[in-house]
Amino acid sequence: MENKKKLQVNCAICDTRNITEEILSAYEAVQINAATLVTSPEAQALLGRYGVCVNTAGTAAISGDVRFSLVNGPMTISASSAVPEEKLYVVVNAPLTIESGCEAVLRSYAGMTVNGPVTCPESMSGLLSAFQINGPIRTYPDGGILLKKTAVLDRFFHLRTKQDALYCAPGRIIALASDIDFARMAEKNVRFVTKELLVAESLAEAAVPLFDERADIKVLPDGCAYVDDDAVLDENLVKRYGGKLYVDGRLSITPDSASALDQVTFLRVNGDLLVCRSMKDRVLEMDLAYDRLQVVGGLLISDMAQAEITARLLADAEDGVSVMGCASVAFAEDVTAELLKEKLVSLSDCAAVICADKEQKSVAEALARDVAAFVLAGEESEEEEETEDEEDENTVQINAASYTF
C-alpha cells in the first residue's frame, strides 16, 4: 500500500479555485492555514469531499478569472486611481483610505479584504458592505478634504487652505505652534472635523469656533511640544522638545532621567508611564498626567523575540530588571530563586516563559502579568519529541505569502 504524506499549507492568501482531485488524492490529509481562503463552488465541493482541514480568518468565494493583489502597507483609493482593466481582488493588510469621487473605482473591484481600519466619506460607507472589513470603519463628511490621521498644523497652513473648505482628520489635529493663524482661516470660512484637538492655550479662543462641536478639546500650555512616539525621558529629549511635553505613546523614566526631570514643568502621557523603582517616589510627588503608571526595573528588556535572563545580567542591574512584550523569555540555570526575588521587578505581556526549575517558576509566576504560558526547560518527553520528528518526516509543509493550487 502506498505510503502517502500529509500536506500543510501556511500562507496569507490561499487560492484553491484550481484545486483538483488528482492533487488532493496524492496526500493522506491536507491542512490549509490562511488569513484569506479563495474558493469557488467547485473547489468548495472538493475540499469538503476530501475532508480538508481549513483554518482561515476569511473566505472569498469567487467564480471566473479574477486576479489577486496583496498589499502589505497603507493603501489609498482616490478619484485619480485607475480603474483595473481586469477583474481584481485586493487584500490589504494595513489601513485603507478612500477619498471622495472614486465610486467607479470601488465598484470595479471583484472583491476586497481589508485587515485594518478603513477611512471613507460618509456617503460611500454603503459600498463597503460588499467587502470584508476586519477593522473599524471611520467616516468623514462628504466634500471634506482629508488630512492625515494625526494632522500637525504649522504657520503656513492658512496659506494652503481653500475658501469655505472643510478639513477632516480621522484621529486628531495638533495646533501647538504659536504662529498658527486661525483668524485668517476664519476669514476664509474654513472648518475642521476631528475626534480630538490639542491646542495651545493662547490659540484656543480663535481655534475652537472652527471645530466641530463633537471634537474632544485639550488645551495645553504655550510652548508644549507633541511627541508622536514612545520615548525615554533624557537630556536629548528635553534638548529637542523642551520642558513641556505631550507624549502620545509610552514614556520611560530611568535612573538616568533625574536631570531631565528637573527641567520638566509640564508632562502629559497619552499612554503608560514606566518609572524605575528608584524614581517612583519622586515622580509621584510631581503633578504629572498619564493613563497608567508602571513601576519597572532600571534595566528594561522589551519587544524581543527571544530574551535570555542570566545571573550576571540580574546581578549587574542595580535598580532591578523588568521584562516586557517579549515572545520568549528563558531564565538560565544559574539564576537562583533568591536572586529573582531581589532583582526581577516585573514580567509582563510575554507569550512564553521558560524556567530552569520549579523554584524559578514559582517566583516568576508571582511577579507575572499577562503571560500566556510558563514551562520548565526540557519538560517535553523523548517520546513526544520522537513523535514530532515522525510527523515532520511525513508532512510536506509549504510556507508562503500566497499560494495557488
Confidence at residue 392, expressed as pLDDT on a 0 to 100 scale: 66
Distance CA 5, CA 252 (A): 52
Per-residue model confidence (pLDDT) at position 283? 93
Phi, psi of 224 (to 5 degrees): -75, 140
Is residue 254 within 8 A of residue 236, CB to CB? The reply is: no
Cα-trace Rg, the chain: 28
Place of cell 508571582: 366
Sorted by sequence, the CB contacts under 8 Å of residue 355 that are 6+ apart come out as 331, 361, 364, 374, 375, 376, 377
In the predicted model, what is the mean pLDDT of residues 67-94?
A: 84
Task: Answer yes or no: are the C-beta atoms of 279 and 258 closer than 8 Å.
Answer: yes
Mean pLDDT (whole number) for 342-352: 92
CA torsion through residues 239, 242, 247, 253, sign: positive
Contact 351, 328 (CB under 8 A): yes
Q: Tell which residue, 360, 296, 298, has the closest CA to residue 324.
A: 296
* Model confidence band, residue 382 (pLDDT cutoffs 50, 70, 90): very low
**To the nearest whole number, what is the mean pLDDT of the chain?**
89
Residue 380 has pLDDT above 80, yes or no: no
Q: Residue 1: its pLDDT value, please? A: 47
C-alpha cell at 178: 504659536
* pLDDT tens, residue by residue, 197-235: 999 999 999 999 999 999 999 999 999 999 999 999 999
What's the mean pLDDT in 302-325? 92
Q: Distance of CA 242 to CAs 189, 273, 289, 378, Å?
A: 34, 18, 17, 52
Pick the residue with more confidence: 390 or 254? 254
- Report the alpha-carbon distance of residue 182 to residue 155 in Å, rounded: 10
pLDDT of residue 379 exceeding 80: no
pTM above 0.85, yes or no: no
